[in-house]
Structure 1
């Protein structure tokens, strides 16, 4: 497991930069991760990120885009607007979760 310094602290990441230790994430770190990929977080972003974090805790894996839309109640079109191009991957990265299965 690699260790990276993000926002002035050491965190464990995989080869693609996704956090690997659930408890190392917090909202300040999310702001930094979002800024790294050109996203400024709004309340709408936080709704998706909080759903992902809560769902991961109960399900044991990162939710797919479909699950965020159906169970989380956030339309897919909105997710693509909030997290352009690869929303599932970007949401997981910012939320400090593993990349969802099926993401390239």
Structure 2
């Protein structure tokens, strides 16, 4: 199984770089993952989405779709695409240290 190293900690990831054990994730890791995905700085608005993704994963076992994210996270769909231009649900899930949401390509 592949691994990645963030914040001096090696963690198991899948072939696309998504954590396979979300319990190993820490907030300092998020900044490093975001930079890998082309996001230089995580703002308060990014963190709203990241924390929401983790909370949804804990409750449902998967991250929300973009549509659900836009309706229930407090961050609208247009802003989600500005914050996570490479794909909000997929990118936010990776930064949040959860597996890729169902339905993401």
Q: Equivalent residue of 1:18, what SS?
A: coil
1:50 paired residue number = 51
1:24 paired residue number = 24
Equivalent residues in 2 for 1:1-104, closer than 5 Å: 1-39=1-39, 40-104=41-105
CA distance, structure 2, for counterparts of residue 25 and residue 5 of structure 1: 11
Normalised to the residue count of structure 1, the TM-score between the two structures is 0.93
* Matched pairs, number: 104
Deviation of the 1:3 alpha carbon: 2.3
Structure 2 contact 45–75 (Cα < 8 Å) conserved: no
Query: What does the per-residue CA deviation read over 1:18-54, in whole Å, with 9 as the maximum and x for residues that have no partner?
Result: 1110111111000110011121100000000011111
Structure 2 portions without partners, runs of 5+:
none
Deviation of the 1:67 alpha carbon: 1.2
Structure 1 portions without partners, runs of 5+:
none
CA distance, structure 2, for counterparts of residue 43 and residue 4 of structure 1: 25
- After the TM superposition, which segments of 4 or more aligned residues of structure 1 sit over 3 Å from their partners? none
Query: What does the per-residue CA deviation read over 1:61-92, in whole Å, with 9 as the maximum and x for residues that have no partner?
Result: 11111111112121000000000131111101
Q: Equivalent residue of 1:4, what SS?
A: strand
CA distance, structure 1, for counterparts of residue 4 and residue 44 of structure 2: 28
